[in-house]
Structure 1
Amino acid sequence: MSQHRPLKSGDHVYLIDGSGYIFRAYHALPPLTRKSDGLPVGAVQGFCNMLWKLLKDMKAGEKPTHLAVVFDKSEQTFRKRIYPDYKAHRPDPPADLIPQFGLIRQATRAFNVACVEQSDFEADDLIATYAREAAAVGATVRIVSSDKDLMQLVRKGIALYDTMKDKEIGEPEVLEKFGVAPDKVVDVQALAGDSVDNVPGVPGIGVKTGAQLITEYGSLEELLARAAEIKQPKRRESLIQFAEQARISKLLVTLDQNVPVDHKLDTFLVDEPRASDLIGFCKTMEFSSLMRRVAADLSADAAAIDPIPVEVKGWPPEGGVATPAPAPAAAPKAEKAKPAAAQPEVRPQASASSERLRAIAVKYDDYETVTTKDALERWVERIRQQGFVALDSETTSLDPMQANVAGISLATDPGQACYIPVGHRAGDGLDFSGAEIKQLPVADVISLLKPVLEDPSILKIGQNLKYDLLIFRRLGIEVAPIEDTMLMSYALESGLNGHGMDELSEKHLGHKPIAYKEVAGSGKSAITFDKVPLDRATHYAAEDADITLRLWMLFKERLAREHKTTVYQTLERPLVPVLANMECEGILVDRAVLARLSGEFAASGAEIEKQTYELAGERFNIGSPKQLGDILFGRMGLPGGRKTATGAWSTDSDVLEDLANQGIEFARKVLDWRQLSKLRSTYTDALPTFINPETGRVHTSYSMASTSTGRLASTDPNLQNIPVRTEEGRRIRTAFIAPKGSKLISADYSQIELRVLAHVADIPQLRKAFADGLDIHAMTASEMFGVPVKGMDPLIRRQAKAINFGIIYGISAFGLANQLSISREEAGSYIKTYFQRFPGIRDYMEATKKTARETGYVETIFGRRCHFPRITSPNASERAFMERASINAPIQGAAADIIRRAMTRMPAALAKAGLGARMLLQVHDELIFEAVDAEIEAVKELVKNVMEKAPEPVIKLAVPLQVDARAADNWEAAH
């Protein structure tokens, strides 16, 4: 930056938060090393690409006249003198990032962009000062960052710009995030504190509460002066006790806008990069792709420009540098081109027999490690010619929202597969022997694969492909159309076996794949896949793609032969992208609510514990089954005790429930304590750990093939099992919230399984009751006990409700007796009376069991097949369980099918109506949406219509479906 001229009104000043750019670049791409010496350069390359893109993407009217990248020079700043613990808990930067800090500064200068840093001040202070000076003369300021700490600077003429989202952050966005205008942000931050920077704040006050307080009192000082007026005792005491801490926090978060800067704004005038500097730097760093783009843009002859020397601090590391990687394996042999099929679903290979596929042996040496662009281009051409490809991604985590990509595998024919490493790194792997890792930059791989993976004429085949869709989406690739071998197996063999690739391979192909632990280790010696040596990684990953392709060829034929193509194509495959979208969206969770509930549950648990000790007459470990059993059945001598195989007394929930139903208060207290402890450990303490740091949301994962009836299962975290029958469980749902200006909508099928039962079992009384809109449980009670519906005793209705739902699950007299706290004789009498009043249900149950025994399976009204291979087991207990499950499966399965059909139709219906609502969660018979306030009523109406008509046109139910939809600020209020 050699040009100078005074800043004037109308100029555009761009101030780039250098630290933010560095860490975004480092975390956005997999590790990359310079192949000549192993120098880590991934963050440098990412930084260069981001800076180049910023410079090239600016619209004509927005191009900067002045530009600077502002860095932190050191951690020792004036804030450390105010508060020595400021940023004390920040971890050291990653070892492979340290040598890149200096290189990034050299890269900035190579771009001919001002590189600014100054001792005793943070980059944010310099940015604040320059922004103030520029705005004062009428220039427009864009701070290239999304850092919340810089939002206090936003005002007319000054905005933040998030390049990752291509979004400007102005006063409305700051108000949405903090609940106050930018000039009050520091007051809210002073109250809320910042755990990352170790800003203490005021305990118990978060951003939301802080915003409410500042809005009410006007400023931090006014709030602290009038703290005694606060009505809430804990909040009042905290504000009084930690007033000075709040003032110190405000000093720490307030940016200094009057730094005596070493570099003046007029020296930041934008100038074209010098070809010799930028191309020379790219050559030195071995950034060939960027070098070609720069040379083309600057009309320079890259070959005539020499590399320029760069200084690297902290490199090479102790012990020397890596050695060159071995030459890549041979490329696949050229084959005669095959015309791409018009419809990717119809392939001649799909008719291949299991014997043929077994005969083609898995030969690891035939798999290719793709490390050159030419080799990848050959694979891409083969895919285009063939019209289908099996693919898989290897990553560093099971969480697709946070995993880094290690590599991608492809297969085009049985035995013909490859692995494309993009994120492997040396140092901690299993026997790297110091070899250099040769791999393509992820950006180059994406540019070549994106067109074919998004091509609608090329079929993409995967195993549990939903995970990979999310991984590829984070790389900017929307994979479609798809086939999923896990779901093909699920449609064919639900209840017969698992649907994991290894199990399917052994069962159908007679081949046992490499176990993950064989390549990545297990236990304490386990490593992430990005550290697996490339030869082993290729064997493992390419085999996955190869086996997936073979399974697809086998299952495609079977789906047609066994008449399950419709089930797969209407209930399974279309749901994959829908669930991927839902998982990507996530749901907001209020940490403060969870923290408060956790404290309250802990206090309640402690009180229950105390009461339990009083009832026992001694202190003991309430969490110890052995000590609890000794007190219950030893010292107290209570009846009903049974011992486990170890000789200890059983104290499981069934035992305690039985005692509690007999009026044993001690047992009830233990159950209450266990419930609170479980709620704390499973939800209030655990849920905050699942909040994604990038999105601020919880992203559950849905398992599509883990139940025999088609019901989805939620994991990591499980959001389907939050108790709704207890007050404490319902309070946990209040922590799931909508963002400001939006509401959560809960749309819930009313008694869907009873409605399905009325249809499939053809029960006249139930069909008429649903058609007339009657209270089904009151009607049942009236039929059974001869009491009028009007003025019915709630206890009688509750008993009828328990029987209605219990019958669906094959409830026994013992189970019903426990549920209603009545004798087994009375429960048996209820069940007998129920079947006398509704004989069609008994007939349905007997017919279903007979079918299951004869065929080994039952089917839903939509054709989903649920297998019960052990229904003829000689073990009476197992046989009875299978019979109950076979009775329930057609009912629960049909209900699951209906909501699946609704979910697959929902995105298109919302889009067609021009509504921006997002589907976030599925919890059994309930769907959760997030919608802006202005669209609430329209979304509710549309959602109800789609859900209630979901069975059509395949099935016209004999009873109407009913959906209740409500909107509120949190999940519990909407339910």
Structure 2
Amino acid sequence: MAFGKGCHLHLIDGSAFIFRAYHALPPLTRKSDGLPIGAVAGFCNMIFRYVEDNAGPDAPTHVAVIFDKGSHTFRNDLYDQYKANRDAMPEDLRPQIPLTRRATEAFNIACKELAGYEADDMIATLARQAREAGGNVTIISSDKDLMQLVGDGVEMLDAMKNRRIDREGVFEKFGVYPERVVDVQALAGDSVDNVPGAPGIGIKTAALLINEFGSLEELLDRAEEIKQPKRRQTLIEKREQIEMSKRLVLLDENTPLDFTIDDLEVQDPDPDVLMPFLAEMEFRTLTKRVADRFGAEAPVIEEPKPVVEDGPSPADIPFEPETYACVRSADDLAPWIDQILERGYVAVDTETTGLNDMTAELVGISLCVEPGQACYIPLAHRAGAADDLFGDDARAEGQMGFDQALEILKPILEDEAILKIGQNMKYDAKIFARLNIDVAPIDDTMLMSYAMHAGLHGHGMDILSERYLGHTPIPIKPLLGSGKSAITFDRVPIDEAVRYAAEDADITLRLWQLFKPQLHRAQVTRVYERLERPMVPVLTRMERAGVKVDRDTLSRMSGAFAQKMAQLEEEIHELAGRKFNVGSPKQLGEILFDEMGLEGGKRGKTGAYATGADVLEDLATLHDLPGRVLDWRQISKLKSTYTDALQTHIHPETGRVHTCYSIAGASTGRLASTDPNLQNIPIRTEEGRRIREAFVAEPGKTLVSLDYSQIELRILAHIADIDALKEAFREGQDIHAATASEMFNVPLEEMTPDIRRQAKAINFGVIYGISAFGLARNLRIPREEAKGFIDRYFERFPGIRDYMDATKSFAKEHDYVETLFGRRIHTPEINARGPRAGFAQRAAINAPIQGTAADIIRRAMIRMERAIEGLPATMLLQVHDELLFEVDEGAAEDLISRAREVMEGAAEPVVKLDVPIIVDAGQGANWAEAH
């Protein structure tokens, strides 16, 4: 049929279908060979659904699926940074791309792509041709870049939401009609595609300007009429950049196609072609559905037999130290480089003078490309015996030149075609980054283990080697010694260093060969690829950036805390009736229970009374002295742990504090901060909040804090399906007041602070499985009254009890629980007895909530760098639900706008919560002001 009046062309955005399919389904592999096919399965289901939905009288006459072919287009020639900051394609998606083309052809739908042009350009050209021929066009996509084509017989269909987008729909999205979309995009830019636009101008402002001046060209010609000085200056100074941005976003309606619309005529699928393809992919359910749809016979898909791999398992190859080589020259290194280039991967490990990756110096590098075959490259070992602390500081003989080795290795370590494998790769990445080497791409065996085994065991190399390889690694302690006689690795004799260091790389490669295929089988490929591995470069940059801490402020606080402690000591001594060492638990116990006769004294194994915080909190309701001691302890901890200790962590060269984040620390996915721990700075007391005053911005900059508002309660409302809580969040109510109103039947306008405080304690307590005893202690009320509060809470919100029971049952059956993003947290103690069971059950209930919150902020951090590209801003810290940035003073609002959008949309498209995610923002000269 020749295309003309009365014809209808459907243009399917193939890339959108692929990525929708990839994100929507859990990782899936073909049983016969482990080939990733999750995206192909989703794609085929979407195409089959399309075929079924478009088989009636309103069916299109012509249809094509349009794909991108390659990444380089004419736009890269216009602007070499176009799409330069896009993440690399996920490793498990890459082999599926050609299979989606085969799937399209198997369904007998035209499959089109064109080198040098984007799919959007082909769609624009086909839409123009169809329009000029008198036909109608439906573009099946939700891509905002295609909205410039809507109108004159062209509409869009968001197939996922079954929502049609016409001219009014475009106006709702952009604030302008389709013919001016490119003008708005040229001004606002696009962080995803790295279109620069006009700095500081977003979609809303761009639309206002275009509507006021009529077109981009008119706006730029009359830019001097703009009243706002900064905006006027930007439009004048950035005119060329804005005009170039328009050329980037404007779709080419004259793409040189090598086919015509007539070639796209709808054809029925041929079962003889389609069925074998589906069977090859081992899509049993879809094969049956397709067979039923076309009246064909479904082929039998046999269960694959176990595959016996050639060669021994990495765990079976013996560890032979004599096979480890010492690389002492460029000639020695050359064959290793050749092997790496041939294999396309290498296990890498660094040896340094210490554990602090911001101060440790590189001593040597080990490499491994085959189990049992590894090398060590000594670079900075010093002469003198290992136990001679005052030996010759000259370089030991038999080492490769430091700069020469790095010059040879840098291209390998930065080559995107060579995978670098490490154990805790973030450490090595930071060491190399300080030497101006950007290691990428990477795989991390520690994070692979964490994705598969969170909650089961630790993920350090020694544990993993013993557990999965049956091998105990060479210990470091005999090499370095301990105490005053301990040495650094540069003092270890090279021959001994070779055996230790090369073995580390060997173990790492063996673990990688074991773990990599297991990711798919454990159904955690997506968790590893999207929540674990991408965090390494993000945290590497954050940790290297650090945060400025004012030493003078800390010193003043230490002095003030010392005075406060002295004042409290006087009050405590007066209440006790005599002087004693307030910091001595033994003396305190004697005062409280022997001399003052307070009840509840219990002696431990040493014979001393227990005087922990829980004991003192109970006693504080009976006497003032225990409460004063708690105050003293709190101030003492603030002084010793923060105002005194933080001063020692200020880097001598940067003047900043560089915390280190542990990606695989908490089983729920929460990051842990160490050396120093900046996540445990108490903020519930005035003194604790003051600590943040010492974290300051550099001159000319400001700190910006963005914090998720009650994220875990919002997740609980979604997971447990609590209508009252969801409604309160949707309406923006004070959630604690709303809870109190529900529980105590008190109208919101009559709410008292005390009633709200009780509801807040229950809201947060329930997430952590609080008991009546714990709530009574927190609120300082009788236990029976606390029990009544909890019982009433579950009566008003029965979905929470249902969620708890269902979660415990699932954990007992499967020995793990999951977050909304598929992170598995194992619960090995869930079927234990006694106190261990209670703890395990509370942890299982909390883990999906806390873990989902952790996953959301991880997704935000991974997307953040691209989103704030071009802004003079740096992401510095993550503290649970908060991100802290440093930004030029004039760009703070732009940063807040972009960062808030990323954080509030971080769950999507994988998870769509039933409640809005809200992010609070603040800015100031120091962290306390910003938060």
* Maintained 8 Å contact 1:394/1:405: yes
State the secondary structure of the residue aligned to 1:685. helix
Taking the aligned partners of 1:645 and 1:850, their CA distance within structure 2 comes to 38
1:907 equivalent in structure 2: 865
The amino acid that maps onto 1:361 is P
2:371 equivalent in structure 1: 414
Give CA-to-partner distance per residue, 1:310-365, whole Å, 9 cap, x none. xxxxxxxxxxxxxxxxxxxxxxxxxxxxxxxxxxxxxxxx9979971121111111
Q: Give the CA deviation at 1:525.
A: 2.4
State whether structure 2 residue 443 is matched by structure 1 residue 487: no
Taking the aligned partners of 1:416 and 1:763, their CA distance within structure 2 comes to 58
Taking the aligned partners of 2:812 and 2:602, their CA distance within structure 1 comes to 34
Give CA-to-partner distance per residue, 1:698-740, whole Å, 9 cap, x none. 0000001111100000000000000100000001100000011
2:438 equivalent in structure 1: 478
List 4+ stretches of structure 1 deviating above 6 A. 350-355, 431-435
State the secondary structure of the residue aligned to 1:721. coil
Taking the aligned partners of 1:427 and 1:351, their CA distance within structure 2 comes to 52
Taking the aligned partners of 1:460 and 1:430, their CA distance within structure 2 comes to 34
Q: Give the CA deviation at 1:442.
A: 1.0
Q: Give the CA deviation at 1:429.
A: 0.9
Taking the aligned partners of 2:601 and 2:455, their CA distance within structure 1 comes to 35
* Maintained 8 Å contact 2:327/2:377: yes
Taking the aligned partners of 2:806 and 2:831, their CA distance within structure 1 comes to 15
1:895 equivalent in structure 2: 853
State whether structure 2 residue 747 is matched by structure 1 residue 788: yes
1:235-254 map, 5 Å? none
Q: 1:849 to 1:355 in 2, by over 3 A?
A: farther
Q: 1:743 to 1:791 in 2, by over 3 A?
A: farther
* Maintained 8 Å contact 1:431/1:533: no
Q: Give the CA deviation at 1:431.
A: 8.6
Give CA-to-partner distance per residue, 1:503-546, whole Å, 9 cap, x none. 00000000000111022122232211110111111111111100
1:808 to 725, 746, 767: 767
1:797 to 737, 756, 759: 756
1:383 to 323, 340, 358: 340
Taking the aligned partners of 1:355 and 1:702, their CA distance within structure 2 comes to 37
Taking the aligned partners of 1:355 and 1:930, their CA distance within structure 2 comes to 52
1:869 equivalent in structure 2: 828
Q: Give the CA deviation at 1:806.
A: 0.4
1:856 equivalent in structure 2: 815
* Maintained 8 Å contact 2:386/2:493: yes
Q: Give the CA deviation at 1:916.
A: 2.0
2:708 to 737, 749, 767: 749
1:504 equivalent in structure 2: 464
State whether structure 2 residue 906 is matched by structure 1 residue 950: yes
State the secondary structure of the residue aligned to 2:891. helix
State the secondary structure of the residue aligned to 2:749. coil
The amino acid that maps onto 2:683 is V
Q: 1:888 to 1:352 in 2, by over 3 A?
A: farther
Q: Give the CA deviation at 1:663.
A: 3.7
The amino acid that maps onto 2:856 is I
Q: Which runs of 5+ in 2 are unaligned?
A: 1-306
1:270-281 map, 5 Å? none
Give CA-to-partner distance per residue, 1:429-453, whole Å, 9 cap, x none. 1599999532112100110000010
* Maintained 8 Å contact 2:381/2:396: no
Give CA-to-partner distance per residue, 1:120-172, whole Å, 9 cap, x none. xxxxxxxxxxxxxxxxxxxxxxxxxxxxxxxxxxxxxxxxxxxxxxxxxxxxx
1:364 equivalent in structure 2: 321
State whether structure 2 residue 732 is matched by structure 1 residue 776: no
* Maintained 8 Å contact 2:387/2:485: no
* Maintained 8 Å contact 2:385/2:493: no
Taking the aligned partners of 1:468 and 1:886, their CA distance within structure 2 comes to 34
Taking the aligned partners of 2:685 and 2:646, their CA distance within structure 1 comes to 19
Give the root-mean-square deviation of aligned CA atoms.
Answer: 1.6
1:592 to 552, 564, 570: 552
Taking the aligned partners of 1:372 and 1:482, their CA distance within structure 2 comes to 26
Q: Give the CA deviation at 1:376.
A: 1.2
Taking the aligned partners of 1:963 and 1:839, their CA distance within structure 2 comes to 28
2:358 to 387, 401, 417: 401
Q: 1:567 to 1:931 in 2, by over 3 A?
A: same
State the secondary structure of the residue aligned to 1:475. coil
Taking the aligned partners of 1:581 and 1:507, their CA distance within structure 2 comes to 32
Taking the aligned partners of 2:340 and 2:320, their CA distance within structure 1 comes to 21
Taking the aligned partners of 1:818 and 1:930, their CA distance within structure 2 comes to 40
Q: Give the CA deviation at 1:642.
A: 1.1
State whether structure 2 residue 885 is matched by structure 1 residue 923: no
* Maintained 8 Å contact 2:816/2:825: yes
* Maintained 8 Å contact 1:856/1:869: yes
2:488 equivalent in structure 1: 528
Taking the aligned partners of 2:554 and 2:352, their CA distance within structure 1 comes to 31
1:456 equivalent in structure 2: 416
2:838 equivalent in structure 1: 880
2:798 equivalent in structure 1: 839
State whether structure 2 residue 727 is matched by structure 1 residue 727: no
2:562 equivalent in structure 1: 602
Taking the aligned partners of 1:704 and 1:678, their CA distance within structure 2 comes to 26
1:682 to 641, 662, 666: 641
Q: Give the CA deviation at 1:752.
A: 0.1
Taking the aligned partners of 1:577 and 1:791, their CA distance within structure 2 comes to 51
Give CA-to-partner distance per residue, 1:452-497, whole Å, 9 cap, x none. 1000000000000001110001111100000000000000000000
State the secondary structure of the residue aligned to 1:931. strand
The amino acid that maps onto 1:818 is R
2:725 to 739, 752, 766: 766
1:639 equivalent in structure 2: 599
Q: 1:402 to 1:962 in 2, by over 3 A?
A: same
Q: Give the CA deviation at 1:427.
A: 2.2
State the secondary structure of the residue aligned to 2:589. helix
Tell me the number of residue pairs that the alignment of Structure 1 and Structure 2 aligns: 622
* Maintained 8 Å contact 1:394/1:407: yes
Q: 1:351 to 1:866 in 2, by over 3 A?
A: farther
Taking the aligned partners of 2:375 and 2:478, their CA distance within structure 1 comes to 19
* Maintained 8 Å contact 1:417/1:542: yes
Give CA-to-partner distance per residue, 1:746-794, whole Å, 9 cap, x none. 0000000001011111111111111111111111000000101114101
The amino acid that maps onto 1:477 is I
Q: Give the CA deviation at 1:428.
A: 4.6
1:614-763 map, 5 Å? 614-660=574-620, 662-763=621-722
1:518 to 455, 474, 478: 478
State the secondary structure of the residue aligned to 2:677. coil
Give CA-to-partner distance per residue, 1:653-678, whole Å, 9 cap, x none. 11111111x14111011111111111
Taking the aligned partners of 2:371 and 2:383, their CA distance within structure 1 comes to 31
TM-score, length-normalised on structure 1? Answer: 0.63
* Maintained 8 Å contact 2:347/2:369: yes
Q: 1:580 to 1:436 in 2, by over 3 A?
A: closer
* Maintained 8 Å contact 1:491/1:865: yes
Give CA-to-partner distance per residue, 1:389-427, whole Å, 9 cap, x none. 000111011111111111011001001101111111022
* Maintained 8 Å contact 1:351/1:554: no
* Maintained 8 Å contact 1:353/1:554: no
Give CA-to-partner distance per residue, 1:224-273, whole Å, 9 cap, x none. xxxxxxxxxxxxxxxxxxxxxxxxxxxxxxxxxxxxxxxxxxxxxxxxxx
Give CA-to-partner distance per residue, 1:63-102, whole Å, 9 cap, x none. xxxxxxxxxxxxxxxxxxxxxxxxxxxxxxxxxxxxxxxx
Q: 1:352 to 1:617 in 2, by over 3 A?
A: farther
Taking the aligned partners of 1:431 and 1:649, their CA distance within structure 2 comes to 48
Taking the aligned partners of 1:905 and 1:702, their CA distance within structure 2 comes to 18
